[in-house]
């Protein structure tokens, strides 16, 4: 209980003075790993694959002939777009579309900050006060933390391997039967009957 109260009693200035070296070095390691991985510094971007829903298309097609209905069609489109952002989809075509947000180098910065704080905390727990250990641990933590997150993202984005079992209900086709063994060659009687025969 006293440790928790002591943790919450630390001011932001004290926290920064304690962790700034580790955070800076971990940020440097994360940015190095980001550049080595992609060759460029990727900026954040947001992709919204919006297309009008069926009822919005119908409302626009009905009202496009009348000039005073055009503002109403525009309002329908805005409402449909906002509902798409919130997650309310009205047809299968819209339901399959996903909003994609990539943090870019800002995500690497967050990883670097977290890895630096963890490395400094680990050194404090083990009572290591060497500045060289702090710098090297934070730099390696930034590189390793980013590499771990990238590997997890790659594994999550890959499709699952096909099922190889023989009794799974998810298998679309039964396992192929092994080919039959080859037939033995016929006996070679080109030299005539054997000498044992009368």
In-domain check, residue 198: no
In-domain check, residue 173: no
In-domain check, residue 63: yes
Q: Are 22 and 119 in contact (CB under 8 A)?
A: yes
Using a pLDDT cut of 70, give the percent of the chain over it: 63
Q: Identify whether residues 38 and 71 lie together within a single domain.
A: no
Full residue range of the structural domain in which residue 33 is found: 10-42+103-157
Mean pLDDT value across the chain: 73
Q: Identify whether residues 110 and 151 lie together within a single domain.
A: yes
In-domain check, residue 197: no
Q: Are 120 and 8 in contact (CB under 8 A)?
A: no
pLDDT class for 67, splitting at 50, 70, 90?
A: low
What are 75-92's pLDDT values in tens digits?
878 888 888 888 777 777
Q: Identify whether residues 79 and 92 lie together within a single domain.
A: yes
- Name the residue with higher pLDDT: 159 or 170: 159
- In the chain, how many domains are there? 2
Q: Are 121 and 113 in contact (CB under 8 A)?
A: no
In-domain check, residue 70: yes
């Amino acid at each position: 209980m006293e440790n928790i109260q002591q943790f919450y009693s630390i001011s932001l200035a004290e926290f920064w003075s304690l962790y700034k070296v580790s955070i800076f070095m971990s940020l440097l390691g994360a940015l190095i790993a980001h550049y080595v991985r992609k060759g460029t510094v990727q900026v954040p971007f947001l992709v919204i694959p919006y297309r009008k829903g069926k009822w919005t298309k119908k409302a626009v097609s009905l009202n496009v002939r009348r000039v005073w209905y055009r503002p109403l069609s525009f309002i329908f489109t805005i409402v449909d777009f906002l509902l798409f952002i919130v997650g309310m989809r009205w047809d299968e075509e819209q339901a399959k579309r996903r909003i994609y947000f990539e943090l870019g180098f800002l995500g690497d910065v967050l990883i670097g900050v977290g890895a630096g704080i963890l490395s400094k905390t680990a050194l404090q727990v083990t009572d290591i006060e060497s500045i060289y250990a702090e710098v090297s641990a934070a730099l390696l933590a930034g590189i390793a933390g980013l590499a771990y997150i990238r590997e997890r993202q790659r594994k999550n984005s890959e499709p699952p391997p096909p099922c190889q079992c023989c009794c799974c209900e998810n298998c679309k086709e039964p396992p192929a039967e092994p080919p039959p063994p080859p037939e033995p060659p016929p006996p070679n009687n080109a030299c005539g009957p054997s000498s044992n025969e009368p």
